Homo-oligomer: A and B are copies of this chain.
Amino acid sequence: MKEHSVTLAHGSGGQAMAGLIRELFLEIFDDPELARLEDQARLESPAGKLAMTTDASVIDPIFFPGGDIGKLAVCGTVNDLAVGGARPLYLSCAFILEEGLPLADLRRIASSMKAAAARAGIRIVTGDTKVVPRGAADKVFITTCGVGEIPPGVNLGAANIRPGDRILISGFIGDHGAAVLDARGELALEHTLESDCRPLNHLVAHLLSACPNGVHALRDPTRGGVAAVLNEFAQTCGHCLRLRETELPMREAVRGMCEILGLDPLYLANEGKLVAVVAPKIAETALAALRDHPDGRDAAIVGEVTETPSGMVILHTIFGGERIVDLPMGEQLPRIC
């Protein structure tokens, strides 16, 4: 390609688009199904149940410490499969590009998608590319859809949560939200914060292999943070999820940023953390399994489930008090993912 940036012709269905697909996407993603250039990929069906999920990524900025919009798009979808206990198999990716986007940026993004997909063990098998005129979108949006296989006997879900269950978190909370906020350049922090963006499927597989029974529900706390996930759990299971503030793993830099800006870290987005609700008798085994894996080294047991008050999330504060943790009302940080 002679051009240095995306033009409307790259979305035309014509020669420029064919060039972009061949010289950029096919070369980087490097999958035989994609290379067939038919309108659909043709694949082996999963033997077990099929899991399917989708994510639109609109993050701003598109590059941030610890990742970029491409890595985020792949990891977000892989993780939504993984928390259902599914083994990720196939990924589609659709790009909406703003005219003028530097092709070097697109190449960097596609390369990081390939790296994340390889790490997760998912194949990029089909895609689409659209270009809109300058000002009709902001640089690049990526929508991924993932298909996975749920092995027989695996049935994770908020409806399985029981009173007495323990709540675990696989590591420091709020890293992604804090890193993106920092990357927007409106703060002047001493240390660079890094997003935790990563595929979680290997961590989930490790946990489920150590604890074949007793893992009741998993979720990755992205938009709306740990607070949103626990509220969704509480509403579905009809019990009360209680968190101990003293146990919540959090980096000092994130804690400091939240204090300065008046943000609540429970609402900050994560892109590489797992919330697990497990039966009490396997809680220590589950914790050990998480800590045993590089993606869960800083895991902690952070709370438990009680029967009442029904459908609520309660934080036991450092000062010995209790407060209700609601679903967020509005938007702390637009375009966080």
Contact = CB atoms under 8 A, between A and B. Distances in A.
B132 A39 contact: no
Contact of A9 (B57, B148, B331): B331
Contacts of A228: 13-14
B96 A141 contact: yes
Interface string A33-75: 0001111111111111111111111101000000000000000
Interface stretch (A76-84, A109-117, A206-214, A306-314): A76-84
Contact of A56 (B128, B219, B222): B128
A8 B141 contact: no
A330 interface: yes
A39 B137 contact: no
B331 A12 contact: yes
B52 A43 contact: yes
Nearest to A224: B13
A97 to B, nearest CB: 10
Interface stretch (A85-93, A249-257, A289-297): A85-93
B327 A56 contact: no
A108 B39 CA distance: 28
A96 B96 CA distance: 10
A42 B37 contact: no
A303 to B, nearest CB: 20
A170 interface: no
A96 B59 CA distance: 12
A316 interface: no
Contact of A158 (B38, B44, B132): B38
A236 to B, nearest CB: 7
Contacts of A146: 40
A179 interface: no
A332 interface: yes
A46 B45 contact: yes
26 contacts: A7-B331, A8-B334, A9-B329, A11-B331, A12-B331, A13-B224, A15-B327, A15-B329, A37-B232, A40-B52, A40-B53, A40-B84, A42-B51, A42-B150, A44-B49, A50-B50, A53-B126, A54-B143, A56-B94, A56-B95, A56-B96, A56-B128, A58-B132, A58-B136, A131-B331, A141-B141
Closest 5 CB pairs of A and B: A13-B224, A13-B223, A145-B145, A14-B328, A143-B143
